[in-house]
Amino acid sequence: MEDQLAELAEKEYLRACKALESGNGMAALLLLEAALRHHDNPQWHSMLGYCVAREQGQVARGMELCRSSLQSFPDNPQHYYYYARLLLMSERKEEAIEMLRQGVIQGDSAAIRGLLQEIGPRKPLLFTRLHRDNPLNKYPGMLLARLGLR
């Protein structure tokens, strides 16, 4: 009986993955919740966290689910990917980039590489001798970007 439930849960999980890839986050959330009711697989919690944050606006809960997945399974690049997506939703780009880099270290992932490419490279510093977080680099760079000059 448990094997059948685990198999059913796996099928639901795969359907949820396909739904999320096609951009249907709500369907992915519903399928993933159904899969987890049949068989609670902690490996799927980071995806659940992303879906919950994206579709229901529960970013704090999503972050918590992703962090627990990372702590339990630090060698799975998928968890880094979903956590980075949540960080991007929260406008924490630098932390997201760092999370993606850690994910690449854990293993090759097309999703991580795609997201890194989507984010794009950083622009060169205005004042190379100063750190990127220095206000003389940060605020004029933001102003120039808004003016379309950078």
Mean pLDDT on 97-108: 91
* Structural domain boundaries in the chain: 2-122, 123-150
Residue 89 has pLDDT above 90, yes or no: yes
Look at residue 121 in the predicted model and tell me its pLDDT.
77
Region 60-83: what's the mean pLDDT?
94
Amino acid 149: pLDDT: 85
Q: Please give the structure tokens belonging to residue 138.
A: 């940060």
Statement: residue 68 has pLDDT above 90: yes
Does 18 score more than 90 pLDDT? yes
Q: How confident is the model at residue 120 (pLDDT cuts 50, 70, 90)?
A: confident
Q: Is the pLDDT of residue 142 over 80?
A: yes
Helix (H, G, I), strand (E, B) or coil at 1: coil
Local confidence band at 124 (pLDDT 50, 70, 90 cut-offs)? confident
Structure tokens given for 24:
């249907």
For residues 95-119, average pLDDT: 91
Work out the end-to-end distance of the chain between its first and last CA atoms, rounded to an integer number of angstroms.
Answer: 61
pLDDT computed for residue 122 by the predictor: 77
Region 62-69 average pLDDT: 94
Q: Is the pLDDT of residue 4 over 90?
A: no
CATH topology of domain 2-122: 1.25.40
Residues 6+ apart with CB under 8 A from 32: 12, 13, 16, 44, 47, 48, 51
Q: What one-character-per-residue DSSP string does 19-87 give?
A: HHHTT-HHHHHHHHHHHHHH---GGGHHHHHHHHHHHH--HHHHHHHHHHHHHH-TT-HHHHHHHHHHH
